[in-house]
Amino acid sequence: MLSKAQISLVTSLRHKKFRQQHRLFVVEGHKSVQEFMHSNYRVTTLFAVDEVAAKLGKIPQNIKLQILSWQEFNKISSLKSPQGSLALVELPEQGAFSPDQLTGQVTLMLDDIQDPGNLGTIIRTAEWFGIEQIICSLDTVDAYNPKVVQATMGSLARVKLGYIDLEEWIPQIHIPVYGAVLNGQSIYEIHFPSEAIILMGNEGNGICQSLVKLLQHKITIPKIGQAESLNVAIATTIFCSEVTRQRLTRTNG
Amino acid sequence: MLSKAQISLVTSLRHKKFRQQHRLFVVEGHKSVQEFMHSNYRVTTLFAVDEVAAKLGKIPQNIKLQILSWQEFNKISSLKSPQGSLALVELPEQGAFSPDQLTGQVTLMLDDIQDPGNLGTIIRTAEWFGIEQIICSLDTVDAYNPKVVQATMGSLARVKLGYIDLEEWIPQIHIPVYGAVLNGQSIYEIHFPSEAIILMGNEGNGICQSLVKLLQHKITIPKIGQAESLNVAIATTIFCSEVTRQRLTRTNG
């Protein structure tokens, strides 16, 4: 039996205010649920219809499993096509990123990304390319928004993600920051070091002026055709791919 | 005055059947409308609210302009946030792509792409990188679907696009076909010639087996992290970027 209070709790988590208040967020779909069960995140409660629960494998004892009918399940799902499993996951503590965590790797930094689908796709793509740390400006859309979680296809479970005041933070680090701007140097002429920060900006406005000033390298994706702009998830992909290409070429070469 | 028949015509064009029947499709937003007005497409009718019509610049005499109130405009727009201009554009004749049109350039080929947002993003991104020809399998989503048109951000006006039976067609061409598959050669180890076809497959299933057999080169995007897959628009971006990088490096090198 699904109580009214449970329906109200789960659906309230579509809003950031209630995610913060309850320190919980929602993950849907058995693949994503599995990824979170086997990650550093703590799943507290699992709602599933019978046949989908069977697909989830062994469920750790500390997770409360509640079997629902499809009719009940549809009341809590926020997906157009509910998939029959939904986990409540503890919101991680917003541990401060310390500058030495960036040592020896490429970190992605996002300034004011607003579209949940874009943020989700960026997290999924970065994680494909082995980028394990993503630092978002305080005004970037919340990564625990259900649309973001869904779009990451489980990758959110594996990246370290934080929200930070970038303007205050960037001057404290000693790793070069490569930012995507118009009229910078071609990305194909840049040699990315193995320790770097890639900074991508807002969908409409790019990187804000106060952060552009802090860039060591201003980088542009060359345009051959006449398209006015690239989507930010697409632009981020090109950075991730080029960093990876150079890294693999160094390793093999 | 907007007649009921006009509302019915414009909204019917959300469906492929009626686009085919009326040989028309819809373009919304003043930037996209402008792109189509100044392209090889023929805009027949333009609906706009007064203040947006002013932004459209000089409107060719052969285009019928009808000024609407916002209240009227909202009845025909399919956007969540209507932008105040909407063009009816003639559906191009489905001219057969002849193999010699592929000479000397990189052509993108799509097998069974289903998501309108993906197709739109692919068209926009390919056009950014100067890929001017896109050949779709017959079962790929219709590029004149309003969601696709919207996602191309005007780039649809500038690419040559056709729907073709790929299985019948590929054996007739003498240009190497590079297909995105699992377990192929790393894209970063491939030298793309200046004349090539890049073939991308369906969101869930990749390139269908009968087409995989026709590939000269099976290519994979190396995975460093643990993400299960990449979105097809993201994968296509990586191909477009790498082809462009090699092309620019050849030119400058």
Q: DSSP for A42-103, please give it.
A: -EEEEEEEHHHHGGG-PPPTTSEEEEE-HHHHHHH--SSS--SEEEEEEPPP-PPPPGGGGT
Alpha-carbon B212 to chain mean position: 23
Q: Does A129 touch chain B (CB under 8 A)?
A: yes
* 8 Å CB contact of A153 and B229: yes
Q: Does A238 touch chain B (CB under 8 A)?
A: yes
Q: Does A127 touch chain B (CB under 8 A)?
A: yes
Beta strands in chain B (DSSP E): 24-28, 43-49, 64-68, 85-90, 106-110, 133-137, 160-164, 177-186, 196-200, 217-220
* 8 Å CB contact of A158 and B129: no
Q: For residue A186, which residues of chain B lie inside 8 Å, CB to CB? A: 248
**Chain position carrying tokens 């994503």:** A32
- What does the DSSP assignment read for A167-185? HHHGGG--S-EEEEEEEEE
A123: nearest CA in chain B?
A: B227
Contacts of B126 (CB under 8 A, 6+ apart): A225, B108, B134, B155, B159, B236, B240
Q: For residue B154, which residues of chain A lie inside 8 Å, CB to CB? A: 227-228
Q: Does A222 touch chain B (CB under 8 A)?
A: yes
**Distance in angstroms (rounded) separating the CA atoms of residues A128 and A233:** 13
DSSP letter assigned to residue B111: S
**Distance in angstroms (rounded) separating the CA atoms of residues A87 and A56:** 11
* 8 Å CB contact of B127 and A225: yes
**Distance in angstroms (rounded) separating the CA atoms of residues B153 and B83:** 13
- Judged on CB neighbours under 10 Å (0-12, 13-18, 19+), A11 is middle
* H helix intervals, B110-220: 116-128, 146-151, 166-169, 209-212
Cβ atoms of B52 and B85 within 8 Å: the answer is: yes
* 8 Å CB contact of B225 and A129: yes
Residue A235 C-alpha, separation from nearest chain B C-alpha, in angstroms:
9
Q: For residue A128, which residues of chain B lie inside 8 Å, CB to CB? A: 221, 223-225, 227, 230
Residue B139, number of CB atoms within 10 A of its CB: 14
A199: β partners: A109, A179
Q: Please report, in tens digits, the pLDDT of each residue of chain B (253 residues total).
A: 899 999 999 999 999 999 999 999 999 999 999 999 999 999 999 999 999 999 998 999 999 999 999 999 999 999 999 999 999 999 998 766 787 889 999 999 999 999 999 999 999 999 999 999 999 999 999 999 999 999 999 999 999 999 999 999 999 999 999 999 999 999 999 999 999 999 999 999 999 999 999 999 999 999 999 998 999 999 999 999 999 999 998 876 5
Enter the pTM of the model: 0.95
ipTM of the complex: 0.94
Q: Please report, in tens digits, the pLDDT of each residue of chain A (253 residues total).
A: 899 999 999 999 999 999 999 999 999 999 999 999 999 999 999 999 999 999 998 999 999 999 999 999 999 999 999 999 999 999 998 766 787 889 999 999 999 999 999 999 999 999 999 999 999 999 999 999 999 999 999 999 999 999 999 999 999 999 999 999 999 999 999 999 999 999 999 999 999 999 999 999 999 999 999 998 999 999 999 999 999 999 998 876 5
Residue A106 C-alpha, separation from nearest chain B C-alpha, in angstroms:
13
The count of CB pairs under 8 A between chains A and B is 112
The bridge status of strand B196-200 relative to strand B106-110 is parallel
* 8 Å CB contact of B131 and A226: no
Structure tokens at A33: 């649920």
**Distance in angstroms (rounded) separating the CA atoms of residues B132 and B111:** 17
Q: For residue B116, which residues of chain A lie inside 8 Å, CB to CB? A: none
Q: Provide the 3-class DSSP secondary structure of residue B11.
A: helix
Residue B188, number of CB atoms within 10 A of its CB: 21
Structure tokens at A245: 């290409």
Q: For residue A127, which residues of chain B lie inside 8 Å, CB to CB? A: 225-227
